[in-house]
Structure 1
Amino acid sequence: MVRGVRGAITVEVNEADHIIVETEHLLSEMIEKNNIIPENVASILISVTDDINDVFPAKAVRKFEGWEYVPIMCMQEIPVVNGLKNCVRVLMTVNTDIEQKQIQHIYLKDAVQLRPDLSSSIDK
């Protein structure tokens, strides 16, 4: 079955190294909590708010061994008035036997407010 795994994290500063480290942290949690292996990933979409522009957060995926063939695309979120700032959002499309309600979506730091009903207890 094809499922979407969502995640989001906020970053403190618009600096390449910081953005990559935080995105890597988010991806690690998403991968670990949902037992995702790269061969089962169809694609990854990563969006950022308009205040993040120092680096493509997709570079974080390339730090994971075996993930070099996973298609990734970065894009900018629509600039919603009063929307959450400094946010990286991820949508992984994966093949899995996990039921929809068992998918663990990961929301870290200030991104918890995006989906408090689904947010992980990690790093709140």
Structure 2
Amino acid sequence: MSKVRGIRGATTAQSNEKDEVFNATSEMLAELVKANDLDADDVAAAFFTTTPDLNADFPAAAARLMGWTHVALLDAVEIDVPGSQSMCIRTLILVNTEKRADELVNVYLREAANLRQWRTEDED
């Protein structure tokens, strides 16, 4: 039986330029799709956040151009926590899947690869 599950991803942009936000987001989404064998029809919704220093483009634009035309997409600004990762794009993708939660792969790229390590240490 299919259930709705969440998959997380994060990456960083090298600069606050439209092409860089688009390319970083596209790379992250491509890795998430590949790692989880996602089909656009299985994606219920995708939420994107950027740190306040990234406002050159909407990350959801990359999802639209990769064919997620009927997926509910939302962009927002991340909370500006002092000392947190800058130039960061995050996503939470809700998918309909028969996979168990532990079978899904979260993807952290570029400088955002440090985020998963930081969260794991905090949880210990």
Q: Taking structure 2 as the reference length, what is the TM-score of the superposition?
A: 0.90
What pairs with 1:24-103 in structure 2 (closer than 5 Å)? 24-65=26-67, 67-103=68-104
Match of 1:114 in 2: 115
What pairs with 1:10-25 in structure 2 (closer than 5 Å)? 10-25=12-27
User: Greater helix share, 1 or 2?
Assistant: 2
Query: Could you tell me which amino acid in structure 2 is paired with residue 38 of structure 1?
Result: A
Q: What secondary structure is seen at the aligned counterpart in 2 of 1:45? A: strand
Q: Which structure 1 residue ranges, 4+ long, deviate > 6 Å from structure 2?
A: none
Note the C-alpha offset of 1:113: 1.2
Note the C-alpha offset of 1:62: 1.4
Note the C-alpha offset of 1:116: 2.6
Deviations 1:31-60 (A, max 9, x none): 111011111111000000000001111110
Q: What secondary structure is seen at the aligned counterpart in 2 of 1:13? A: coil
The RMSD of aligned alpha carbons is: 1.3
Unaligned runs of 5+ in 1: 119-124
Query: Could you tell me which amino acid in structure 2 is paired with residue 97 of structure 1?
Result: E
Note the C-alpha offset of 1:117: 8.3
Query: Could you tell me which amino acid in structure 2 is paired with residue 71 of structure 1?
Result: A
Unaligned runs of 5+ in 2: 120-124
Q: Taking structure 1 as the reference length, what is the TM-score of the superposition?
A: 0.90
Query: Could you tell me which amino acid in structure 1 is paired with residue 61 of structure 2?
Result: K
Deviations 1:85-122 (A, max 9, x none): 0000010000111111111000001101111389xxxx
Q: How many residues align?
A: 117
